[in-house]
Amino acid sequence: MSITDQTIAILGGTGPQGRGLARRFAAAGLDVVIGSRSAERAATTAAELTGSVRGASNAEAAAAGDVVLVVVPWDGHKELLELLAPVLAGKLVVDCVNPLGFDKQGAYALPVEEGSATQQAAAVLPDSRVVGAFHNVSAVLLEDPEAVSIETDVLVLGDDREATDLVQALADVVPGMRGVYAGRLRNAHQVEALTANLISINRRYKAHAGVRVTDV
Amino acid sequence: MSITDQTIAILGGTGPQGRGLARRFAAAGLDVVIGSRSAERAATTAAELTGSVRGASNAEAAAAGDVVLVVVPWDGHKELLELLAPVLAGKLVVDCVNPLGFDKQGAYALPVEEGSATQQAAAVLPDSRVVGAFHNVSAVLLEDPEAVSIETDVLVLGDDREATDLVQALADVVPGMRGVYAGRLRNAHQVEALTANLISINRRYKAHAGVRVTDV
């Protein structure tokens, strides 16, 4: 199974992160379906991108995708996945959601009953293969047409080797990006929460910070 | 206040991580005191290193240090700091402890009532300035005499700008190492827990993984 043969659906694909990932995957030649609560808005976003990319409702995108990325707001994450569980059965689901709160001191990690957004997805989708990835990638860089290369590693979390291998390959299609296996689902929380640190770093250094793993 | 004028105490300095940091700081010309439950063991470890480095009990080391690194096992962390709170008052305390559990599937983050080891230190040491740092640095690399440069960033967490600046400067004395401000104490947990991911990465890739922040 090669990642280039797969249709990539992006639920919540009209937000900055989802739209940025759609842009990069389409530019790399993958077949992309952007999902949104509003199919019309998804179609508008898709029309702004180049490559094989179309818009649909979240439910239609979930049905069309072989690999389904979840890039929706944390608020509503569980409800959407519960609703789509039947259509996501048998598919590879990549959760990219960071459960964060914000106040005047910046971002902080929210507690999650299941441990992490990714583990929540795995609990709600027992018949899907669930992987966590793309948590720490700057939406600003993804959307910047002048950023030819995205110099960051994508930490990939999961309990199924074939699934994490495929998601690593998905990260690898974007120039500069590299998928790195980074542990089991039980270690997803801190990778999601690390995004709060990257937001602190961005504030302090006026940067669009990402993570590279050394010695790998 | 320059970091090179400070005496660096390392509580738990006979373990691999503490010993490795002592080696690097002493090699960079800093004055180092290794603390241990056994002053004799600390003296033996100190004698194996070059530079201005001596051994002492943890209590003596805490008293001697201007900057006191806490590199003790998580089991006993709180009790030791409670005991040393009077002598640590007014000092800069750098917590480097990762609350991790281990089983046959590898490492995982332990829950901490205060949120993180660093926040626990801050709670127990209200009269000290507490910073979190050096969580993700490979002990193997620190101890490897052939590793001339330690190619990793040190994520520095704290609520006191002068204190985090000083700890960044401490990281910067080691060739290849760079101190990066990475947020407030409330965002320390995920940096500590990320060590579990690095252990997973080390297993998978036969590496001594570290972290670099991109675009900074």
Whole-number pLDDT of residue B1: 72
Q: What is the pLDDT along chain B (216 residues), one digit of tens a residue?
A: 789 899 999 999 999 999 999 999 999 999 999 999 999 999 999 999 999 999 999 999 999 999 999 999 999 999 999 999 999 999 999 999 999 999 999 999 999 999 999 999 999 999 999 999 999 999 999 999 999 999 999 999 999 999 999 999 999 999 999 999 999 999 999 999 999 999 999 999 999 999 999 999
pLDDT band per the 50, 70, 90 thresholds, residue A1: confident
Structural domains in chain B, sorted by start = 3-205 (3.40.50.720)
pTM: 0.97
Which pLDDT score, from 0 to 100, does residue A66 have?
A: 98
**B111 near A CB under 8 A:** no
CB of B210 within 8 Å of a chain A CB? The answer is yes
Which amino acid makes up residue B83? L
| Beta pairing partners, B210 | A214
B213 part of contact set with chain A, CB < 8 Å: yes
Check if B178 contacts A (Cβ < 8 Å).
Answer: no
Whole-number Å distance between alpha carbons of B34 and B54: 6
Q: Do B215 and A209 touch (CB under 8 A)?
A: yes
- Provide the percentage of residues in chain A whose pLDDT is more than 90: 99
pLDDT of residue A181 exceeding 90: yes
List of chain A residues whose C-beta atoms are within 8 Å of the C-beta of residue B189 = 109, 190, 193
- Give the nearest partner residue to A190 out of B109, B209, B215, using CB atoms: B109
Quote the ipTM score: 0.97
- B196 at A interface, C-beta within 8 A: yes
Say yes or no: B82 contacts chain A, CB-CB below 8 A.
no
Q: Which of A126, A116, A121 is nearest to A183 (CA)?
A: A116
- CA B49/CA B211 separation, integer angstroms: 26
Residues A97-111, mean pLDDT to the nearest whole number: 97
Contact A187 B200 (CB under 8 A): yes
B175's tokens: 């060739």
- What pLDDT score was predicted for residue B161? 98
Q: Is A194 in contact with B189 (Cβ distance < 8 A)? A: no
Pick among B113, B180, B190, B191 to test the A interface (most A CBs inside 10 A): B190
Digit-coded pLDDT (tens) for A116-144? 999 999 999 999 999 999 999 999 999 99
Which helix (H) or strand (E) is B172 found in, with range?
A: helix B161-172
Query: Mind listing the pLDDT tens digit for each residue in B43-73?
Result: 999 999 999 999 999 999 999 999 999 999 9
- With a cut of 90, say whether residue A49 has pLDDT above it: yes
> What does the DSSP 8-state code read for residue B3?
G
Exposure on the CB side of residue B154, measured as CA atoms within 13 A = 31
* Mean pLDDT across chain B: 97
Contact call for A216 and B201, based on CB within 8 A: yes
A214 shares contact with chain B (CB less than 8 Å):
yes
* Burial class for A22, CB neighbours closer than 10 Å (0-12, 13-18, 19+): buried
| Cα A182 from Cα B204, distance rounded (Å) | 9
Q: What is the pLDDT of residues A190-211, one digit of tens each?
A: 999 999 999 999 999 999 999 9
